[in-house]
Amino acid sequence: MGRNIVQKILGSHLVSGKLSAGSEIGISIDNTLIQDSTGTLALLQFEALNISGIKAKRSTAFIDHNTLQAGYENMDDHRFIESACKKFGIYLSRAGNGICHQVNLERFSMPGETLLGADSHTTTAGGVGMLAIGAGGLDVAIAMAGEPFFMAMPLVLKVKLEGKLPLWSSAKDVILEILRRLSVSGGLGKILEFSGPGVKTLNATERATITNMSIELGALTAIFPSDDITRRYFRAQARENHWKKVEADNDAGYDDELVIDLSAVEPLIAKPHLPDNVVPVRELEGCPIDQVAIGSCTNSSLEDMLKVVSIIKGKVIPSGLSLVISPGSRQVLLELSRNGGLYEMIAAGARILESTCGPCIGMGQAPCSKGVTLRTFNRNFKGRSGTEDALIYLVSPETAAASALQGVITDPRRTGSTMSISLPDNFLVNDDMIIKPSIEWKDIEVVRGPNIMPLPAFDPLSADLRGETLLIVGDHITTDDILPGGAEILPLRSNLPAISQYLFYKVDSGFLNRAEQGKGGFILAGRNYGQGSSREHAASALRFKGIRAVVAKSFARIHKANLVNFGVIPLEFSNEEDLARFSLGDRLHIKNVISTIREGKPLKLNNLTKGFTIKIMLSLSPRLYDILIAGGLLGYIRSEKNR
């Protein structure tokens, strides 16, 4: 039997383990990616390794999240990142150059190579045949140092695309359809590999939209072949020399298969407050809206922008509605300026924002109280927009633009017109806003403002764990719930003592006080705990406040790895019904943690308050057990070097 794309790339990068589903493997990482929200901590962690410079083939950093400079903190972070990039040999895309995943696709993506990014939507690069994985910043810092990335070998789900999308349906509708079928946890432990005749009907940026949102399925990543369509995209970016063919063998095997008939995909919409809460747009037609936001790493390509221009050209949005547009990169913005699209957007009443993440992460453009906002983004978690009681709907650029003109949710098929866009054969290529590494910069001093705090030292794991039940939560708790983003909190990403003060503050305002009084304790949770962003602060801040264990029905992949990296034990209920037996304030105890882990025996959680004991599971590899016992990944790496 032949090999699929995933097997080929993993096989060529395998440094330990075997490619059998579920077993731990280590792979070499060619490229790494950080951005200014995750990058300060990742760079501090890399610095703590005492390595002179980057050992990966190429490392990149992007300033695209914390660009709303309401105080000194964000610009201080930018100066720190720039100086650290110069010192360690990292490419830096400066503020204003665009969203990391859009710029990476344009200027840095490499078919057939591996990419590890400290951002969950690193998966975007899978659209051009790159095996691109999101992870916590500490995992990325280790990869920057040339160390392998370890993970459980995933199952490979073949997504066979047939037919061709009809007019007014888009790539965004394809991934929403997959989310509707599989759910936000249906991709856990899997990589989606796209194949079939329908693949040839999608261009590179359409494919990137689909792989971008694969992380919302809980999947490790998603990947398309790199073919002649990919080659045309690289040629248009003046990077044809970086293109190579990446495809599965004709007789490749897969673990499972999902068939999508593109011709049957209609305009879809994800209702609040999860990306898999998907229905046809026609079912919600006529619902009044207050805001439309177009952009994000999901839908900010030139093609997406030109679709919007085609719909709103010569028209004006109605009063009472705000339309904001964020072109994905400086290149896209320059193209819109050259072809007149920018004029049409402004003439229609759109407000043009920076080429940054912006509203997607709650950095500005928060909707009105109880507002209804349509967004071409990838997440619609409660409060993520910056307005706690807003209702966020996820849609395609076509649906967003059509709805903006009507002031109500509108099926774009109702426009009664045709769409005509033309992409240039050659994009405007200008890398002046990318600072390239230079050997002359290695002696530079790293600039540290007062918000750049040193990394705290964490102790190894204790033999016994005791504490109170500090919090009990349900299913699908997101990293936004654990440690929110937004304009108030994101600037504190390089200051762990300060940002940890916001733990769960929107979920339970009393949590922090209980944690501080009890000097730590336990968190109990339902299924898919920690879904969403790769922000490792949602784990490191817990550890900083003394939390040493989370017991859940199941975990999202990246957050589970982040918990281990900071020495917080991710435990699972053997019987999911046991969660209901616990109450806030119950005194809990786990005996002989280290010896029990070493012996491979199940752990027991004793409820001292109510007088019962339950079995709990810890499903990790021996290497991950050692990381937990060392108190986290940095402690483990240091101990390994000292052997």
CB 117 within 8 A of CB 136: no
Contacting residues for 480 by C-beta, under 8 A, at least 6 apart: 379, 381, 383, 384, 532, 533
CB 144 within 8 A of CB 85: no
Return the pLDDT at 421. 86
- Residue range(s) occupied by CATH 3.20.19.10 in the chain: 465-641
Query: What is the rounded distance in angstroms from the CA atom of residue 95 to the CA atom of residue 64?
Result: 6
Question: 3-state class of 224 per DSSP?
Answer: coil
Q: Tens digits of per-residue pLDDT, 572-594? A: 999 999 999 999 999 999 999 88
Q: What are phi and psi of 98, to 5 degrees?
A: 130, 175
More confident residue, 443 or 464: 464
For residue 24, the Cα-to-chain-centroid distance in whole angstroms is 22
* Average confidence (pLDDT) over 533-540: 87
Query: What is the rounded distance in angstroms from the CA atom of residue 558 to the CA atom of residue 610?
Result: 33
- Residue range(s) occupied by CATH 3.30.499.10 in the chain: 5-264, 268-414
pLDDT band at 620 (very low <50, low <70, confident <90, very high): confident
And the tokens for 327?
Answer: 């072109």
CB 307 within 8 A of CB 426: no
Sign of the dihedral defined by the CA atoms of residues 544, 483, 526, 122, in that order: negative
Task: Classify each residue of 32-67 as buried b or exposed e, where b means 16 or more C-beta atoms within 10 Å of its C-beta.
Answer: bbbbbbbbbbbbbbbbbeeeeebebebbbbbbbbbb
User: What's the CATH code, domain 268-414?
Assistant: 3.30.499.10
Q: Where are the alpha helices (DSSP H) in 363-473?
A: 397-406
Q: Tens digits of per-residue pLDDT, 505-528? A: 889 999 999 998 888 899 999 999
> What is the fold of 465-641?
Aconitase; domain 4 (3.20.19)
Among 2-16, 272-286, 289-303, 430-444, the least confident range: 430-444
Q: Tens digits of per-residue pLDDT, 382-441? A: 888 888 899 999 999 999 999 999 999 999 998 877 777 889 999 999 999 999 998 766
Is residue 311 over pLDDT 80? yes
pLDDT band at 492 (very low <50, low <70, confident <90, very high): confident
User: What's the CATH code, domain 5-264?
Assistant: 3.30.499.10
Q: How many CB atoms lie within 10 A of CB 242?
A: 15
Is residue 642 over pLDDT 70? no
Q: How far apart are the first and last CA of the chain?
A: 43
* Average confidence (pLDDT) over 151-170: 96
